[in-house]
Amino acid sequence: MLAFFSQIRAIIHRWWSEFTLQTRLMAGATLVVSLIMSGVTFWAVNTIQQDARLNDTRFGRDLGLLLAANVAPLIAEGNLSEAARFSSRFYRSTSSVRYLLYADEAGKIFFGIPYSEAEIQNSLTIERRIQLPEQYSPQAEVPMVRQHSTPNGQVTDVFIPLNREHQYLGVLAVGINPNPTVVASSNLTRDVTIAVFISIWAMVLLGVVFNALTITKPIKELLVGVKNIAAGNFKQRVDLPLGGELGELICSFNEMAERLERYEAQNIEEMTAEKAKLETLVSTIADGAVLLNTDLEIILVNPTARRIFNWEGRDVIGANVLHHLPLAVTVKLTRPLYHVSRTLPTTPFLEGHVEAIALPEKHRDGDEFRVTLSGPTERTIRVLLTQVLDQHRETVKGIAMTVQDITREVELNEAKSQFISNVSHELRTPLFNIKSFIETLYEYGNELTAGEREEFLKTANNETDRLTRLVNDVLDLSRLESSNTYKLEAVEISRPIEQTLRTYQLNAKDKGIELLQNIDPNLPLVLGHYDLILQVLANLVGNALKFTAAGGKVAIIAYPMEQATPVLNQTQKVRIEVADTGTGIDAEDQEAIFDRFFRVENRVHTLEGTGLGLSIVRNIIEKHHSRVHLISEVGVGSTFWFELEVYQDQETLINTPITLTPVENTP
C-alpha cells in the first residue's frame, strides 16, 4: 500500500512539474478563491441554520407551554376525550407541529397525533412508550428542547412536564417542523454556493484549456524549436495556425530557422571545399604532416607521415600520438609535446624508459628534433613542433608536427665531409712532397750532385702533375654534379675513339701494351656530348693501361645493338666497350669501384691515382641517360661498357613507318 501511494505521489509530482509557472499560479489562485467561497458559504449556511434552530426552539417552547396549559386541567380531570379533540384542532390549525405525544408518569403513551392509543387492548397490541432524554426533569420549570434529523429535515423536540397543583400528570412531547422559508433560503444559498464553486472551476478549466491551446502549446513548440536550433538542427519549423503577435513570432522563428539552414549549408559547403583543399595540399607535400589537439590526439595525418612512421593500414585518427610513434621518437618528443601543448605529462607506456628522456625542461614553439629510426629501414628524420593558436593568438588549439626525411641530406653531408677529408688528404701528400724536395734543393743545392738535383726536380714535377690531375678531376666532378643538363647533339662515335687511341698510343708503346680497336664501319650517329664522351674514353683507357702489364692488350670496341623484333617507340643504341687483359677487379670491389676516391691500389699499394676517374665516368654516362657496366675477373681482365642512343632527326623520325610486333626477350 505504501508503495502504491508513493507511486501515485510520483505521478502527481511529475504531472505537476510539467505545468508552466503561469498554469501553477492560476491553479493556486483558483484553489484559494474556491476555499474562500466555500468558507463564506459554510459560514452563511451555518449561521442561517443556527438562527432557524433558535427560532424553532423558542417557537416550540412557547407553543408547548401554551398547549400544556390548556390540556393539563383536562387530563387532571380525566377528560381525555376533550383533551384529544382540543389537541386535534390545535394540530390541524398549524403546519408547524410535526407530532403531539401524551405519556403518563411511567412514560406510556396514551394519546398521540398523528397516531393514538388503540381502544381495544389485546395481547398483540404493541405498547408504545416514550424514551425521555436523560436531562429531562418533571420538576423543571422550562421545557426541555432537543433537535434531531429526519429524512424530511431537522425536527425540534420539546418535552413539557404536565403538572397540576404540584401533581405530576405526565409529559407532553411536541415535534416542531423547521421553518420552510429558512430551509428554502438555506437550500438556495447552498445551491448558489455550489454553482459558484463549479462555475469558478469551470472558468479556470476553460482558461487552462484556452491557455494551453493559444499560449502554452505555441510557447512549448517555440521552446522545443529554439532548443533544436541551439543543438544545430536548423530544419526545425513551428507549424501552428495562429495570428496576432504570437503568429508573427512563429513566422519570424521559421524565417530565422530557414536562414540559418541556408547559412549552415553554405558554410558546410565552403568548409568541405576548404577541408578538401587542405587535405589535398597536406597529402601532396613532400614532408610528413601530423595535426594534434591539445590532448595529443591525432586529427590529421598525410601519406608521407604514415610512410615514415609505418602507419599504413592503421587507423590512428583520434588516438594519442605517443602510443603509435616509434619508441625513439616517443622518447625524444614526450616532454617537448607536453611543454608545447602546456599540459602535464602522464606517460605510463614509457615505464622503463624514463632515464632516456632526460630532456631540457623548457621547450619553445618551433623547436626542431633529429631522430634516427632503426626499422624497418634505417633513416634519419627531423621533427618540427609548431603551436596552432586561435585567431587572437592567445590560446593553444593544437600542435602541428612537420616530419622531414633527411636521410639523403645526412648521407650527403657525410659524403661531403668524407669528400673534403679525402681531398685534403690527397692534396696534402703531393704538396708535402713538393715542399720537401724544394726545401732540400734550396738549402742543400750546392752540396748535391747534378744527378741528385735532377732526381729531386723530376720528383717535384711528377708530384705537381699529380696535384694538377687531382685538382682537374675534382673540378670536373664538381662541374658534372652542379650542371643539371648538357646539350646533347649528333656525334660520330669513331672520332673520340680515334682521338683517344692517338693520345695513349705512345704511353701504351712505352709500357709494351698493344692498343687495339674494333669499330663497326657502319656506325650511326649517336646522341651525346663530344667532350664528355672523349673524357669517358680517356679515363677508361687510362685505367686499363694502368692495370695491364707489359705484353697485355687494351681494346676499344663499338658496334650497333641489334633488335630481334622492332618495338614501338624503342630507340636503337650503340654499345661501346673498353676491354683489357689486366689484373682484374675482385667481386667485393666491383660494387664500390665507381665511388669517389675508391682505388683498387688502396689494397694492392702498387699504383697511384686520384680515385675519381670512374666516378666521373659514371656521372657523364648518367648525363647521357645510360649506365656504365663492368665485367671483370681477377687475373683475366676487365671490360667496361655503356650504351648511347642513336641520333634520329625529328623529320626523319616522323616519316619513318612503325611496325608493331611482339617483344621477345633477348640476351
The predicted-structure confidence for 201-212, as pLDDT tens digits, reads as follows: 777 777 666 666
Average pLDDT over residues 145-159: 78
Whether residue 147 is predicted with pLDDT greater than 90 in this model: the reply is no
- The highest-confidence range among 113-117, 256-260, 513-517, 533-537, by mean pLDDT, is 513-517
What's the pLDDT score for residue 654? Answer: 36
| Residue 135 vs residue 115, higher pLDDT | 135
* CA gap 120, 6 in Å, rounded: 69
Confidence of residue 602 (pLDDT cuts 50, 70, 90): very low
DSSP element (H, E) containing 384: strand 379-389
Average pLDDT over residues 448-475: 78
Whether residue 290 is predicted with pLDDT greater than 70 in this model: the reply is yes
Whole-angstrom CA distances from 287 to 224, 281, 303, 379 are 49, 11, 9, 14
* CA gap 312, 315 in Å, rounded: 9
pTM confidence score: 0.40
Of the candidate ranges 295-299, 475-479, 582-586, the one whose mean pLDDT is the lowest = 475-479
Q: What is the gyration radius of the CA atoms in the chain, in angstroms?
A: 65
Q: What structural domains and CATH numbers belong to the chain? A: 43-117+128-180 (3.30.450.20), 232-276 (no CATH), 285-405 (3.30.450.20), 412-473 (1.10.287.130), 486-655 (3.30.565.10)
Q: pLDDT tens across 603-638, in order? A: 443 445 556 778 888 888 888 889 999 998 888 899
What's the pLDDT score for residue 477? Answer: 62
Average pLDDT over residues 547-565: 86
Of the candidate ranges 15-29, 224-238, 538-552, the one whose mean pLDDT is the lowest = 15-29
What's the pLDDT score for residue 362? Answer: 53
What's the pLDDT score for residue 661? Answer: 30
Average pLDDT over residues 354-367: 49
Whether residue 403 is predicted with pLDDT greater than 60 in this model: the reply is yes
Residue whose C-alpha cell reads 407553543 in the numeric block: 63
Whole-angstrom CA distances from 613 to 120, 229, 474, 610 are 171, 78, 10, 7
| Residue 335 vs residue 164, higher pLDDT | 335
Of the candidate ranges 368-372, 492-496, 569-573, 641-645, the one whose mean pLDDT is the lowest = 569-573
Task: Tell me the torsion sign for CA atoms 138, 143, 149, 155.
Answer: positive
Crossing angle of helices 530-546/613-623, nearest 10°?
A: 150
Instruction: Work out the mean pLDDT of the chain and round it to a whole number.
Output: 77
What's the pLDDT score for residue 666? Answer: 28
Average pLDDT over residues 367-390: 83
How long, in residues, is the chain?
A: 667
Grid coordinates representing 208?
A: 487552462
| Residue 249 vs residue 554, higher pLDDT | 554
What's the pLDDT score for residue 652? Answer: 40
Q: pLDDT tens across 168-222, in order? A: 888 888 888 877 766 666 666 667 777 777 877 777 777 666 666 666 667 777 7
Whole-angstrom CA distances from 188 to 194, 195, 203 are 10, 10, 22
- The highest-confidence range among 206-215, 341-350, 527-536, by mean pLDDT, is 527-536
| Residue 245 vs residue 69, higher pLDDT | 69
Of the candidate ranges 128-142, 547-561, 597-611, 653-667, the one whose mean pLDDT is the lowest = 653-667
What's the pLDDT score for residue 341? Answer: 80
Q: pLDDT tens across 49-78, in order? A: 677 767 777 777 787 888 888 888 888 887
Residue whose C-alpha cell reads 504531472 in the numeric block: 15
